[in-house]
Structure 1
Amino acid sequence: MQPTQAPVVSLIRPPAGATADRFRVTAALVLAAAAGALAVFTERAPGSWLDLLLGPVPLLLALSAFVTAVLSARRPWRRPALLVWPEDGRLRVTPAPGFGWFVAGEILLLTGLTVPVVDGQMLHDPAASASYDFLDVGLAVLAAVLIVVLAAAVFQGRPRIDLAPAGIEVREPLGRRTVPWTALAPGTPARQPSARKLVLTVARPELVHRRGLVRRAPVLELTWLRVQPWFLTDVLRWYVDHPQERAALGTEAGNERLCRALGAR
């Protein structure tokens, strides 16, 4: 159910310290490393408790993490109307807690699927062919790369959106986009019915810069961001329509004027 207006709350807060997401992902990484070490350095009989630890347990933990992530992402219209002020000249939309749970689940899922295969068919099966061993190694390397990429995204504070005097900086897990304020059409973005994404009206696409594996469509994904959708829309439109305010973005005076303009306390 959509709200009639964005909630009026405290608008800008200083950045928090270490996030709970990092602890969740660190715990998942420790479990993944422990499972890998057990697979490589231990010998055991089939059906032992170590086999259970290497297979079903990570998968069950992954399922629990995914369920928590889905529950955390519910009711996006009730998310806080909140921007973080990390430093002068910058305002930030931070990741929602659900993203950390999602990444922890991905790490545990990859561990639960990969370690038993590599352990059972590559390390302890003398009859396995060389080609099959190669496939196992490739699977393990791919899983490790995905785990590193996902974990790095969390520790770098991605996904997030930074607002700077020059424009909107979108930091995604696999890349980033920069959308200058001058690239957006005046009077946009308008409030939209979707709480999961915000479509930007880009009048000058040649000004948009992309780096890494990011989508070309002018869409901001909001699923894993900790912000009320219409509130973010109103903030973006304020800076699109008030170019004289961009130089003061992320300053005490500029923050106060933004608060007054949006009716925040």
Structure 2
Amino acid sequence: MSKSAVAVAWRITKLNFRAQLEYRSEFFFMIAIGAVWQLSVIVFATVLLSRFSGMAGWAAPDVLLIAAMRMLAHGLFVLLFGRVHHLAHRVQEGVIDAALLRPMPMYRQVQLMFFPTNAIGDLIVGVGLFVGAIVRSTLHWTPGRSAFLLAGVLGGMLVEAALFTALSAASLHYPATSYWGVWLEELLGTFGSYPLSVLPKAVSGALTYVLPLAFIAYFPAGVLTGHGSELGVPVWVAAASPAFGLAAFIGARLLWNRSLRYYTGVNG
């Protein structure tokens, strides 16, 4: 984006944030909802650290790192890209038709429709869990390892953004796909915080090659904690997770743009 485009986007974001602050009770309530929604992750981490020494050959701090990376990546996704969740409803409301007349890329308009207050709650949980995982970890955080950790989180965010962007491309033509988004979110939340090696091979394979959930946190955490030979893929594939996230997001955006070109309006 050009500097002027960034300035416009930032100004719209600030206005959206101020609009949310007009209703202070609702603002803090939405933050609380975002945090409470991730309560299961907190319970999982607490039980893991207090009752179990590990899981499927992974030490408890290593499993906690998977959960922390996934949660932080998810919080960043909700903050930066999460409005694609609501695209199907915007199509049904006819908002997209009007947005086509504005001199701004449609995908950017979708992301600027409102400020996702619940993302603050997601990030509070994600950052807290992430800090706790770093503190409990026995790894020596060299500059290279720290850089890969950051790249892994950003790559995980892009993988999740790619999945929901691709799904929203379908919702431009089939608004009922919003139900698939709910299913996908539950699937990522259910299996994203565990070592996939605890699952049957058919399931772990599907979550690697069909739905690339493994690239969000499992593969990067496996490389960081020395479990690269146990991930079911060559180590270089797991190490390339951040690059995979970027490539997946670019591919999803191309698909989204192509789908938009064939958009025929709310009434088909």
TM-score, normalised via structure 2 length: 0.31
Query: In proportion to residue count, which structure has more helix?
Result: 2
| Higher gyration radius (CA) | 1
Query: In proportion to residue count, which structure has more strand?
Result: 1
